[in-house]
Amino acid sequence: MLVFYKERLAFLAVPKTGTTAYQSALRTRADIVIANPPELKHAPVYRYNRFFRPMFDRVCGVEMETLAVIRHPLSWLGSWYRYRRREGMEGHKNSTHDVSFDTFVDAYLRGDRPSYANVGSQLKFLETRPNGTGITFLYKYENQPGLNAFLEERLKVRLNLSRENASPEMELSLSQGTRNKLERKLQQEFELHANAL
């Protein structure tokens, strides 16, 4: 998470959406950088609302706007699959070395996910709270030029991004049955992605 106090902007870091590159590029420009532990670096809206929003509200008397990135659900799952298949993951309980992408996605769609497919949910991460706290600006991962233009204008900076924490490249395929199941079960997530900037 990156906080830009003067600009009243908190950039929440949805896992597997390229936010590590933004953190590296903007860490000296941000007022608060939360890089660790992962539970705080990747604080979802509900955790931001519970711990960070009250700090700004009660101590500083300000309401921050929030920014996040959402990735196409299939691309997001593909990135998790490839990340958990990286070198050194062999034999780990979260490794995807011994499962196909189709098996991984099918396991993700189950109620009781095996550890290798337990990667959370973008929809749950971004879920607006009952008090109205949610994401003010939601950009598609695929629209990095739009996100970069927004940040450069809002923060009055010139971004120089490098590729970081990237998953290994590989071809992934999904059976039509699993794809249909994914689109049916994650319908709200597909809609949220479609409506993002």
Query: Scanning the structure block, which residue is given the tokens 């896992």?
Result: 15
- Average pLDDT over every residue of 120-129: 98
The domains of the chain, with CATH numbers, are 2-195 (3.40.50)
- Write the pLDDT tens digit of every residue in 129-138: 999 999 999 9
The model's pLDDT over 86-112, given as tens digits with 9 standing for 90+, comes to: 999 999 999 999 999 999 999 999 989
Q: Tell which residue, 78, 96, 99, has the closest CA to residue 87.
A: 96
Q: Which of 47, 55, 72 is nearest to 126 (CA)?
A: 47
Q: With a cut of 90, say whether residue 162 has pLDDT above it.
A: no
Alpha helices per DSSP H over the chain: 19-26, 38-41, 45-47, 53-54, 73-83, 101-108, 122-126, 144-155, 176-185, 187-195
Closest CA to 20 of 35, 37, 5, 4: 35
- Global pTM reads 0.94
In the chain, DSSP finds a helix count (H) and a strand count (E) of 10, 5
Q: In this predicted model, what pLDDT tens digit does every residue of 32-53 receive, in sequence order?
A: 999 999 999 999 999 999 999 9
**Which one-letter amino acid corresponds to residue 19?**
T
CB 162 within 8 A of CB 25: yes
